[in-house]
Amino acid sequence: MGQQTLLEIRNLTKVFPGVTAVDHVSFDIRPGEVHVLMGENGAGKSTLVKMIAGIHGIDDGDMVLSGEVYRPQSVLDAQRHGINMVHQELSMMPNRTVAQNIFVGREPVKGKLLKQVDLRKMNEDSQALLDRLGVKVNAQTRTKDLSIALQQMVEVAKAISTDNKILILDEPTSSLTTPEIKALFEIVRRLKEDGLGIVYISHRMNEIFEIGDRITIMRDGKYVGTRRVKETSIDEIINMMIGRKLVQLFDRTWNKPGEILLETKELTGLRFRNVNIRVHAGEIAGVAGLVGAGRTEVAKAVFGVEPIEGGQLFFAGKEILAKGHSPQKAIADGISYLSEDRKQEGLFLEFSISDNIVSVALKDLFKNGLLNPAKQKKTADEYMQKLSVAAADAERTVDTLSGGNQQKVSLAKWLLTRSRVFIFDEPTRGIDIGAKAEIYALMDELVRNGAGILMISSEMTEVCGISDRIYAMHDGEISGELIRGRDTFTEDNVLAIMLRSGGERHELLPDKEEEALHDKGGR
């Protein structure tokens, strides 16, 4: 593998009960390169990098780091060797400040005899690092008060705050919008120039060709092949990943919109104000915006998780009173909410796949109040098959699944409610391209059958590719609206209205004019 190899991986193997997660995988990481690791959910990518980072032990095979045998016994051992990892699933201490999270375990101290943490230095160093990253966060803010996207950027700051030889980034942009991704990529390029080897896991194809140097593909725990980015194509990568050609990613059936199922008028709440949106039966309304724009806060207010301070909320023409509005009432009304934070808000991680899938629809499934194990198993098996959940059986606990398969389980439980309005907050976060196509097909099936979907996404190609209409948010307000057929859906167009002030937004069109436009171009 040559003298330029930083880390050589030889026949690495990891076996968990009932499954070989990584099966004799070999590849190398070179200084000053971004080595992209790709594969479907459950392909073994995360398990492989967790062995490199000292989280999982090695069952077979070995590694050579800078010419010496490397077999980390713990995360701290890996860090001492210059290897750090930013996880897809966040591990912030919510009640500690950003600075305390960045410097946890290695806080600067002052005093010769009575040593104590130097809070001033820790805060100043953390703030300088955040400013360098372009992360607009006060280092003394508690992490529980940050959005998922900002927590992700803090994780990156934490990882690069030490001397590294290798930095592992597992889906670092899954919750970031285009400007935040660009800022992160600038940091990655500087790290490359400093000679770091970067292992980058991502399901976003456009990122690979922008930031990657080489790509290694895994499938079913095995090594498939390595390609130079400049010498491959999206079609070849997909074929290597899933073993077949993906015909169409955004395969929508463009429907004539029906009645207005969900509508807000001047809705005001936590970190948002005067929000006017509509979701018709038979359509997907996408919501785009920068980190902190207020997208998730609007979704949570509509679902009853966060308070509504003013304005009106309507479901199927009936006003929903802010007083007494709750998730239980929203579900009863026919509104579902898929959270962007599946780990903290979307799943019972220590419960089985089966228990999670039926958790929201217990009253509908078991009308006499008594659980029916046979019916529960049949239902869980049906939805596992429908969403291609990769697990031996429905009794596996959710915490043993890959992030992508956890997302499928979270989605399954809401599909089971048969709601009329689905709020999907980052529905394909951490999902491979094959699974994305499956989820888009499910979303299309829902709207074909008369449901309406409000979709929040940080992935601009997703927003443009699958939405019937797009609302852009900026600083807590709707800054513009695009409608397919009237407007051209491009990333540049969406970004342009995202960056406007709320006072410059388009006026909503009258219902009849909207329907006429939906029947034109793009349908």
Same domain, 413 and 309: no
CB 360 within 8 Å of CB 413: yes
CB 472 within 8 Å of CB 480: yes
What's the domain range around 130?
Answer: 7-242
Residue with tokens 């929040």: 456
End of a domain among 361, 395, 418? 418
Same domain, 151 and 220: yes
pLDDT per residue over 66-117, tens digit each? Answer: 999 999 999 999 999 999 998 877 778 889 999 999 999 889 999 888 889 9
The pTM of the full predicted model, rounded to 2 decimals, is 0.66
Query: Is residue 342 assigned to a domain?
Result: no
Q: What's the average model confidence in pLDDT over 227-238?
A: 91
C-alpha closest to that of 402 among 431, 364, 366 = 431
Same domain, 278 and 206: no
Same domain, 297 and 352: no
pLDDT per residue over 445-462, tens digit each? Answer: 999 999 999 999 988 889
Integer Cα distance of 316 and 179 in angstroms: 36
Integer Cα distance of 184 and 266 in angstroms: 35
Same domain, 397 and 279: no
Same domain, 61 and 126: yes
pLDDT per residue over 203-222, tens digit each? Answer: 888 888 999 999 999 998 99
Integer Cα distance of 120 and 33 in angstroms: 36
The count of domains in the chain is 3
Same domain, 207 and 142: yes
Give me the CATH number covering residue 491: 3.40.50.300
Same domain, 408 and 451: no
Query: Is residue 58 assigned to a domain?
Result: yes
Query: Is residue 523 assigned to a domain?
Result: no
CB 429 within 8 Å of CB 35: no
End of a domain among 418, 453, 470? 418
C-alpha closest to that of 16 among 385, 435, 396, 395 = 396
End of a domain among 215, 242, 269? 242
Same domain, 386 and 407: yes
Query: Is residue 249 assigned to a domain?
Result: no
Query: Is residue 252 assigned to a domain?
Result: no
Q: What's the average model confidence in pLDDT over 363-388?
A: 89
pLDDT per residue over 469-496, tens digit each? Answer: 999 998 899 999 999 989 989 888 888 8
Per the model's pLDDT, the better-predicted residue between 54 and 401 turns out to be 54
Same domain, 429 and 412: no
Same domain, 317 and 374: no
Residues 6+ away with beta carbon under 8 Å from 123: 97, 99, 139, 140
Same domain, 187 and 318: no
